[in-house]
Structure formats: C-alpha cells, structure tokens
A and B are shown apart, each in its own frame.
Chain A
Amino acid sequence: MKTHIEHVSENELYLLQDDELAPVRATAIRAHIESCPDCAERSAKLASFCRHIHQAMLEPTECSSDGAFWVRLAARLDEPVQQHPRSAKRPWLELIPSFILAALGGLLDTLVTAVLVGYSLINLGLLPDFGSQLVANLQSALPGSWFAAWLAQLGIADSAALQAWLDGLTTSRISGNELGLGLVLLVLSVLLALVVGLLLIWNVQRVAQEQDIRGVRAHAIR
C-alpha cells in the first residue's frame, strides 16, 4: 500500500467522502489532507458540494400517511398487475435472450478475427493459402456451375490458373516479401478485432441490463 501521497485525486476524495476506501488508505489520505492545504481545500469543497446535493434531495413533506397509503393499496391488491407497453425503441430486444446475443457477438468477433489474422498470416507466408485451395476445390467440384462460369469469364479455366490469379491478387497487394507491411497488417487486424470485440461486449452488457430491468418486472409481477 502506497503511504506517501503527492496529491489526492478527485476520485479518491469522493471515495473518502463516501467511506468507500480501505481503512489503511483512508488513514493515509486523511493524514495527507491535514498536511496539504491544496488537498484540504479541494476536500472541503467536495464535501460542501456533496452536502449541497444531499440537502437538495431531502424528503418531500407531503407524503400520505401510512394509513391512507395502505387503504389505497389494499383496495388494489386483487388488481392484476399492469404491464407497461414494450419499449418502442428496441422491442426486439425482449425477444432475444442476452446470452444468445452474447454468443452471436462472440461468434462474429471470432470470425472477424480469424479472417483478418488468417489473411495477414497468409500474406506473410506463415500459413498455406487455404482460401485459394478451397476456391480451387470448389471450382473443380462444381464444374458447369455459376461459380465455374464466373471464373471462366475472368479467364480462369482450371485450378492452376485460379491459383496463379489469386497469387497475383495477393502479390499485387503486398509486393514481394514486404514483411513490415504484413506485420503492420497483422497488428491492425488484431487491434480491429479487439475493438470490435469490446464494442460487442459493451453493447451486449447494455442489452442484458435492459433485459434485466424487464426481467425484474416480469419476475415481480408473476
């Protein structure tokens, strides 16, 4: 535990104010505040601000009495619980469980990562070109299909020509053995996949939270 403190961050001042710091850390910060006029002033301002907010949130005075509240409530106990209309914003959310959304998001992110990283590794020559082999196999397995016809239009009549065409595409993107460019592409791919993954996690968390809000209601009104 750090005992010497330069200046206390606002976050820690709030934690101290809210009595949420570990005792050792709280003692260290209090000692620092006593000896640091700058932090003492900030702490006092923050305490004053919190007091200000708290005072503004005082209780309303015109609550009904316990008796009146109960009389009104007792008359309604046999009423069926009213459901609020579904959120007009994203009603489909309630139909899809959050774990399925999370699984779909994870699958999508895995696919994005696999494609991008795989493409980079192939360009770096670290993986055999499975994509080209797969396309070649498809081309030979589906003679006379639209796929083969499309390839023929491109002037690719057989697997060898296809391989040469794909090699040409690859080398036109990364000419020769440009290791640096390949590595940059690989790093960018991983970063992009991470960003996509984090966005998905964030969104799924929000969805789960919205469902949770509705779940509690549904649970409470069963």
Chain B
Amino acid sequence: MPEDAPEEAELIAAAARGNTGAFAELVRIHRMRVVRTAFGVLGSQDEAEDVAQDVFIKVWHALDTFQHDTSFASWVYRITVNTAIDVLRHRKEEVGLDVEYASPLTRPEDAALRRDNQQRVRTAIASLPESARVALTLREFEQLSYKEISEILQIPIGTVMSRLNYARASLKKILSGEGAEE
C-alpha cells in the first residue's frame, strides 16, 4: 500500500484536530472504495452505503489514534472489512441482492443477459465463506495486490493465496453447476 500523499497527511492531521472540512475531503477521496468493498462483501447496495456511513463515523472518532506509519487507505479498508463482516454476521435474515450494475451495453436483451449473469456470479460469491469472500472482493473488486490484502487483513500472504484459491475454485464449481464446496 503506497504511503499517504503529503496533502492527505495534512488532511488527516487537520481532521484529527476536528476540522470537518478536511474530513469531508478525506471522505470524498475514500468513499467509493469503502462502498465498493462493503458492496463486494455484502452484495447489497443499501447496506454498503450504510456501512460506509458507519465506517466514516468510526474513522472520525478514531482519527487521533491513527498510526501514521501505516497507510490511511489500508486502515480504512480494514475498518470497512470488519464493519461489513459485523453486518454480515448480525444479519437477522438473508437480504436480497438488490443490485443494479453499470452496463456499457445498450440493447435491452444484452443488458438483461448481463444482469442475469451478474446475479448468478453474485449469488455464488454470496455463498462463499466470509474470509474467502473478503479476499476475493479486495482482489477482484479493488484490484489490490496480495501484499496489500495481507496488510489489510493482517494475515500472511500465503493465507491470502489459499483464500483466493479456495474462493475461485468454489466459484468455478458453483458456476459450472457442481454445487458449493462444503
């Protein structure tokens, strides 16, 4: 994970002193990656937005404890993953995958096909264990390197690899109709 830019370090310091303008700028910079990550883990857009709100509330309250020797983005990712996992664990009932995706296709039948396909993949991803789902989200959604994922999740790179391998192998089985791995 790259070091925080000097401007961002200043924003963090100002926000930690209570400057809401600086914090608003930090939120603007990091919001979409928080929403994307939460969405990848939860599969629900509404929940992803709610998680993003909770994440930034936590970040706001914890800014003065942020260790500047670590990347701010990694820290925010970690809080996002943990908050999303909490939501996942405390879901009272399974929510539907209320997802609308961006699509470059214009023909309605193509768009419908694409949506079906995306829904199938998303349902398959939703059936993965949370640890595999989180690793897959950070890799496929956020395109993070194994090293970055290992820093965010605080696990060895070998564990990142094994979780990704498990996630991909399971997805292959599910999508090819063989059923999920137990």
* B9: A residues at CB distance < 8 A: none
Whether A59 and B155, one on each chain, are in contact in the complex, defined by CB atoms closer than 8 angstroms, is no
Complex contact B61–A70 (CB within 8 A): no
List of A residues within 8 angstroms of B168 by Cβ: 14, 49-50, 53
Contact (Cβ within 8 A) A11 B140: no
CB distance from B42 to the nearest CB of A (A): 11
Contact code string A14-28 (vs B, CB < 8 Å = 1, else 0): 110011100000000
Given known A-B contacts A18-B146, A219-B62, A58 and B172 have beta carbons under 8 A apart? no
Does chain B have a CB within 8 A of A126? no
Q: Is B65 an interface residue (CB 8 A)?
A: yes
* With A60-B101, A221-B62, A222-B61: A74-B20 Cβ-Cβ less than 8 Å: yes
- The answer to whether A66 touches B31 (Cβ under 8 A) is yes
* Inter-chain CB contacts under 8 Å: number: 129
User: How many residues belonging to A are interface residues under a CB distance threshold of 8 Å?
Assistant: 44
Query: When the two chains form their complex, are residues B52 and A69 in contact, meaning their CB atoms are under 8 A apart?
Result: yes
Binary interface encoding of chain A residues 60-102 relative to chain B, with 1 for a CB under 8 A from any of its CBs, else 0:
1111101001101110110101101101000000000000000
Which of A62, A72, A82 neighbours the largest number of chain B CB atoms within 10 Å of its CB? Answer: A62
A74-B24 contact in complex given A18-B146, A213-B82, A213-B85, C-beta closer than 8 Å: yes
Asked whether, in the complex, the Cβ of A220 is within 8 Å of the Cβ of B59, the reply is yes
**Contacts A49-B172, A74-B20, A87-B89; A57 near B140 (Cβ below 8 A):** yes
Contacts of B27 in A (CB 8 A): 66, 69-70, 73
Min C-beta distance of B100 to chain A, whole Å = 5
Interface status of B72 (Cβ within 8 A of chain A): no
Contact: A20 with B39, CB < 8 Å?
no
CB distance from B40 to the nearest CB of A (A): 6
Q: Which of A19, A54, A60, A220 contacts B79 (CB 8 A)?
A: A220
Any A CB within 8 A of the CB of B83? yes
- Residues in B with CB closer than 8 Å to A61 are 100-102
Report which A residues bind B (CB closer than 8 A).
11, 14-15, 18-20, 49-50, 52-64, 66, 69-70, 72-74, 76-77, 79, 81-82, 84-85, 87, 209, 212-213, 216-217, 219-222
Which 5 A-B pairs give the minimum distances between C-beta atoms?
A56-B121, A220-B58, A220-B62, A60-B45, A56-B118
